[in-house]
């Protein structure tokens, strides 16, 4: 199926992020299963690969300024410092997904996220009984945070984002599915 919205030249006039339902006409059914799922992506990737081959590779964890669209998604001022975490979710040492998570610094106290290291943020999040996930949005624009690793950003097929709420913390999670994952699982190009 062709992409009625995403492939038109006018798409550049649309917001970068679309509600996932608005992107569905441009998305194959196999990709919809991944992009629109609301359960733990970590758990899904663990189940999709050979047992014991899933790993979170920490690319960067730091304190810095969020991108403008990230601040808007979190409802914070753009010049407000945030906790930034960038990872590659790997199966058998191959990155399948790259993710960037952003949380307002002042909400992080006592959460212990600084010590997460290469343990999955998703595994921690989905253990929280009061966890609420906001609406999913999708994009075809490649991630900016992997620009210095061209192999990663150039291979992004779909991106998605949503805000998790837990115990006074708002955490924006953005995940980009790479063509390496499509190749390994026999998924279509989009």
Ligand X SMILES: C=C(O[C@@H]1C=C(C(=O)O)C=C[C@H]1O)C(=O)O
Site for ligand X in 31-60 (CB under 6 A): 40-42, 56
Minimum distance, C-beta of residue 161 to ligand X, in the bound complex (Å): 10
Q: Is 85 annotated as a binding residue?
A: yes
The answer to the question of residue 121 lying near ligand X (CB under 6 A) is yes
Coil, strand or helix: which one is 161?
strand
Q: Is 165 annotated as a binding residue?
A: no
The answer to the question of residue 122 lying near ligand X (CB under 6 A) is yes
The answer to the question of residue 137 lying near ligand X (CB under 6 A) is no
Binds ligand X by CB under 6 A, chosen from 120, 146, 153, 156: 120
Contacts 24+ apart (CB under 8 A), 16-20: 16/69, 16/139, 16/141, 17/69, 17/73, 17/137, 17/138, 17/139, 17/161, 18/137, 18/138, 18/139, 19/135, 19/136, 19/137, 19/138, 20/135, 20/136, 20/137, 20/138, 20/160
* Contact residues for ligand X, defined by CB under 6 A: 40-42, 56, 85, 87, 89, 97, 99, 101, 120-122, 125, 173, 175
Q: Which residues contribute to the annotated binding site for substrate?
A: 85, 121, 175
């Amino acid at each position: 199926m062709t992409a009625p919205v995403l492939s038109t030249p006018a798409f550049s006039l649309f917001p970068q992020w679309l509600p996932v339902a608005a992107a569905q006409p441009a998305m194959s059914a196999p990709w919809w299963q991944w992009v629109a799922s609301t359960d733990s992506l970590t758990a899904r990737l663990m189940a999709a690969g050979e047992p014991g081959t899933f790993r979170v590779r920490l690319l960067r964890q730091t304190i810095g300024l969020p991108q403008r669209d990230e601040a808007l998604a979190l409802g914070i001022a753009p010049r407000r410092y945030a906790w930034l975490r960038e990872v590659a979710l790997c199966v058998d040492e191959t990155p399948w997904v790259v993710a960037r998570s952003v949380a307002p610094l002042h909400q992080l106290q006592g959460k212990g996220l600084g010590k997460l290291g290469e343990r999955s943020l998703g595994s921690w999040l989905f253990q929280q009984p009061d966890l609420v996930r906001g609406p999913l949005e999708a994009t075809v624009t490649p991630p900016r945070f992997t620009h210095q690793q061209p192999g990663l950003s150039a291979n992004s097929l779909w991106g998605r984002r949503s805000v998790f709420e837990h115990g006074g913390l708002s955490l924006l999670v953005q995940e980009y599915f790479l063509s390496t994952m499509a190749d390994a699982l026999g998924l279509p190009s989009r």
